Chains A and B, each alone.
Chain A
């Protein structure tokens, strides 16, 4: 079972830590808010993704069990 990233845009306050900790999968838009895709997180990145989600000051970065295959 793989995981994927989601942002809760209501909770997000554009601190930007996620893009620092997981630049492979998080980019920032013109206003500093994170852009993620729903693609599965690879095994190699799983640990980093978990750390990025835990580091978010507003807990807006969600690492969820992917609904995709």
Chain B
């Protein structure tokens, strides 16, 4: 399996022929895979010891945090009190579309995983949280839940849907728990973490949509099967949302360790030569094209470049765009998406975005680089969540990756042509 299929990424995409995908097996672009077809494709839910298998599989959370899923399952199961499972389907990252794809096209794969995880930790309730703007996904999940409950497929586990107001930080796991506890969907101060005290005070397992889709297959086929692809340290496959200057933007399934070039080829090759890649979304890092030769899509390979896969987003920045202008727009977007709770985030990100905006304007006047560096330093670790840290990392990598462009701007010039390319906001708002 070198990759898989495309349906709808954050931008328009055309389907391509799947080659032995796992999660994306049976995917079709016109409608969700119905329950019967899903069960024919993957078989009934497995009888394996799910927590042990997930632990042995090496699966890590696919929402960007990368926490070992088996350890999280264990931690929740070990708590006193009946746990609750939360399926985090908020996917607020503007350059990620993989969870929406799963929700839209493979709802039963996701719900199977949620129910299996719930049964394994002893939960009776699994709550799917979706963005209120995700109307299509909501309708599909609602229908899928109805079908399953009519068929009494899920034993003692009841599935239900909850709606999040959306926004970049609303998907953070304590924000999701806050929402379900009737409070604004904003990150909370920790401890307690959700596994200790979450929804209604119960130990709560919050898992990303893609993570649960993997859980559903591990429950059927086991850890050994999961590890057949990927690398020793990073086993299995991952969904990647590819956008920017490729011919077929969309969602692709790759084994960990796949060369970047193979993924790009899968996405139809370049529509125009890229100057840099953004790995890991808006909390991620830029890698200049010159440093991307032979790059493998694994955390260990990306770490050497100061980047990570995050939730699995890859943007190829076309040559005609200005990296500083693009990054300044994203920095301003992230500043505006602060939950507004923590001073260093509110004031720090606003100041950082302002400084980057100044650098993005070609000008021979002095620029505030030392101050910007100090602010990037100061905001780290200073919020209730990682929003300031992620933003600082993104801006820091932009200053490094686009240092040539920065020189140009200081001489009053800019190499950008045409409209900016990076999207701001996951849904039209």
Contact = CB atoms under 8 A, between A and B. Distances in A.
Interface of A: 7-14, 29-33, 35
B369 interface: no
Contacts of A31: 343-344, 347-348, 351
A69 B286 CA distance: 37
Binding site of A, secondary structure by majority: helix, strand, loop or mixed? loop
Interface in B58-86: none
Contact size class for B?
10 to 19
Nearest to A32: B343
B382 interface: yes
A33 B374 contact: no
A9 B344 CA distance: 8
A28 B57 CA distance: 45
Nearest to A8: B189
Interface in B364-393: 374-375, 378, 382-384
B300 interface: no
B149 interface: no
Choose among B351, B374, B378 the residue with the greatest number of A CB atoms under 10 Å from its CB: B378
B348 A9 contact: no
Contacts of A10: 188-189, 341-342, 384
Contact of A14 (B341, B343, B384): B343
A38 to B, nearest CB: 9
B367 to A, nearest CB: 17
Nearest to B341: A10
A35 B378 contact: yes
A12 B347 CA distance: 13
Contacts of B345: 9
A9 B382 contact: yes
Contacts of B189: 8-11
- The 6 nearest A-B residue pairs measured at CB: A9-B342, A31-B347, A33-B343, A10-B341, A29-B378, A8-B189
